[in-house]
Structure 1
């Protein structure tokens, strides 16, 4: 009788094991998970838009900054001088647009009036026989020359107005000078660099007195306003995963911390597709390997006390509940 119990117990053990395996397979299918996941955040590269010497440095490695906080300031004396120079040129352009040609016309008109008066005076003296015919002829020639110079000055003014355009700030030369002034003021504003968003300073090797150039990458700013999980799921797990489904998140840095999130998006291709040297499988010894597709999971608001556990690139785990209806 005792010998008859062994096969029964063995059968029960096999059934129990089979039940566990079925439960595990079903659970993995309904709640797909992966430990190939990492914490993601916006990492900004801080680049100056103007070059110069660092006059003030307000941040250091691992410092936290709020949006709008001063990070560093570039020596701006030359930039201020450029603004003053551009402003002076703009003022001069506003004052002198067509003024030179108008001044020449005024001089020509005055000379013409004077020549006309001299001719009339010489003509009166000639009638009284007080001057010779040659003197009257010279006065007439001077008057005609003055009239010709007045006409030429008027034509020169017309050409100047046609080439310069409208008066005041509608004049092409004036607009060019005002644009140069605006660019100089923008460069001066760029000498003061503030944080575009709140976050943490990283990878900084900058000191007061260092000379930087426009477009030079100086350090990074890891934003703390938005966090997500970049989870790489097996392609066979994606049959039920949809955007909006809830997900449970674990952070290796803080094992006791349980976070929640929702599937934000599913990548358009496997990670190998976007690598610098994509794998070439057109060989005779090809072995099929299950690919992994990146899935971005947006984290729900994280308690302030738990924010220490969020580090860009930190390892994480993600499990998606595919039984829940996708959210909005």
Structure 2
């Protein structure tokens, strides 16, 4: 019986050893596979599903207050840059513009009068100088008469009364000469005072004209701001404005989201950032399309702080019982514009991001300022150009020439008015 049991026990031992060998081999193979995976895959990639599509949300706010009379775009509409979105009542603004234009026209004519007065005041100076010449001649004549009578008074040929009369005439002539000299001084002061207001400038560049022109520009731009244009191409969202609503400057009316300029904000754990560098390739998938659509991007930058550091209510770790919480840092991922155009994304969509960290030649933080503007629109530049044209039209109309004429003839009155005045003439 013992002989029968011994072979059975040996067989069980053999099977046990065989099973242990198989298990040991399986564990060894699994460890090898895991090591190869860790070396070839896991150590080369960092992944997170805490990633979301971000984009610019351009707020449309009026620069002036007014009553809404028209709304040209609604939620989900696509608008192009420069397209009108909201129209405010422009009646009061047009009245203000007309008043500013009238004031500018009056100022131009007043300044023209200053330039014209230079010639008349210079003529007054010359006239007063001629009066001095006549007064001096009269003084010399009266002095000669007095001297002649004084020489004859010794022999009784000239009476005392006649001699006194000649002396009185000389004193009167001297008083007239002093008055003429004072008149010349006053005329020269008036000319200098008028020239001080016109010297070294033209009618268009005169300070009074420039102040009035600035009022016209301000009123003109205000009339243009009654129409709110779209600063960028995009889709309308969050429209809150209604017809007849009285809006104040800065009130949010709607938003425009340019979906062709979106990016992904992937929030990686602290330990995942050791090898993340700017410029590394990123593969992303969106829940809205699934695994069948893959986006390819690059790491554009790493956040300057964790999400908790910039939260509205940051954590106060120095109070109460403290529990360590792994922090996450936002990593900005730039997307391929062509892929976004083929498969549009919306702001806020969930994404899965995988970064290939095998390349370590990049930097973890940007070390140079951005070479160009992040965003820029030329929509509002046209308002300044139109305002300048309106100012030039008013000035030219009140200078006595048509706006289309580039320059007046050299000998014309307009050219003389436009020329800078230096000193007395």
Instruction: Tell me, yes or no, if the aligned pair for 2:58 and 2:255 is still in contact at 8 Å.
Output: yes
State the Cα distance separating 1:63 from its structure 2 match.
1.2
Distance, in Å, in 1 between the alignment partners of 2:127 and 2:92 is: 47
Q: Is the 8 A contact 1:37 1:230 kept in 2?
A: yes
Distance 1:258 1:325 in 2: 24
| Rg comparison, structure with higher value | 2
CA contact (8 A) 1:104 1:153 kept: no
Cα 1:24–1:280 shift into 2, 3 Å: farther
Structure 1 residues 162-204: Cα deviation after superposition (integer angstroms, max 9, x where no partner): 3566453232211111122222222222222211111111111
- Whether 2:341 is the aligned partner of 1:304: answer yes
Task: Find the partner of 1:155 among 189, 201, 216.
Answer: 189
State the partner residue of 2:24: 11
Gaps of at least 5 residues in structure 2 are 1-10, 136-170, 364-425
CA deviation string 1:116-150 (max 9, x = no partner): 9xx9xxxxxxxxxxxxxxxxx99x99998798667
Higher mean Cα deviation, 316-325 or 240-249?
316-325
Alignment of 1:238-257 (within 5 A): 238-255=273-290, 256-257=292-293
Q: 1:269 to 1:200 in 2, by over 3 A?
A: same
Q: Superposition pairs for residues 81-120 of structure 1, below 5 Å?
A: 81-97=95-111, 98=114, 105=121
- Quick one: distance in 1 between partners of 2:36 and 2:54? 32
Q: Secondary structure of 2:76's partner?
A: coil
* Alignment partner of 1:190 out of 225, 228, 240: 225
CA offset at residue 292 of structure 1? 0.7
1:240: Cα distance to partner? Answer: 1.1
- Does structure 2 retain, via aligned residues, the 8 Å contact 1:165–1:171? no
Aligned counterparts of 2:362 and 2:214: Cα–Cα separation in 1: 50
When residues 286 and 324 of structure 1 are mapped into structure 2, their CA distance, relative to the original with a 3 A threshold, is: same
| Deviation of 1:248 (Å) | 0.9
2:355 match:
320
Deviation by residue 1:65-84 (Cα, 9 ceiling, x = unmatched): 12222212222222222222
Which consecutive unaligned segments of at least 5 residues does structure 1 have?
120-136
1:270 alignment partner, SS class: coil
Q: 1:100 to 1:217 in 2, by over 3 A?
A: farther
User: Residue 254 of structure 2 corresponds to which residue in structure 1?
Assistant: 219
Give the direction of change, closer, same or farther, for the CA distance of 1:311–1:100 in structure 2 (3 Å limit): same
* 1:179 aligns with one of 214, 218, 225: 214
CA–CA separation in structure 1 for the residues paired with 2:94 and 2:246: 18
TM-score, normalised to structure 1, is 0.79
Q: Deviations over 1:19-69 (max 9, x none)?
A: 565566554432111111110111111111122122321101121112222
1:51 equivalent to 2:51? Answer no
Residues in 1 aligned to 2:288 and 2:325: alpha-carbon distance in whole angstroms: 30
Aligned to 2:312: 276
Higher strand proportion: 1
Secondary structure at the residue paired with 2:231?
Answer: coil
Query: Aligned equivalents of 1:273 and 1:17: distance in 2?
Result: 42
The C-alpha deviation readout for 1:2-29, integer Å capped at 9, x for no partner, is 6323333443454455456556655443
Give me the TM-score of the superposition, normalised by structure 2: 0.63
Q: Quick check: 1:101–1:156 contact (8 Å CA) kept in 2?
A: no
Q: Is the 8 A contact 1:108 1:149 kept in 2?
A: no
Contact 2:115/2:198 (<8 A) preserved? no
Q: RMSD value over aligned CA atoms?
A: 3.9
Contact kept in structure 2, 1:264 and 1:298, CA below 8 Å: yes
Cα distance in structure 2, aligned partners of 1:92 and 1:20:
91
- Distance in 2 (CA, whole Å) between partners of 1:46 and 1:81 is 26
User: Against the structure 1 CA distance between its residues 284 and 73, is the aligned structure 2 distance closer, same or farther, given a 3 Å change threshold?
Assistant: closer
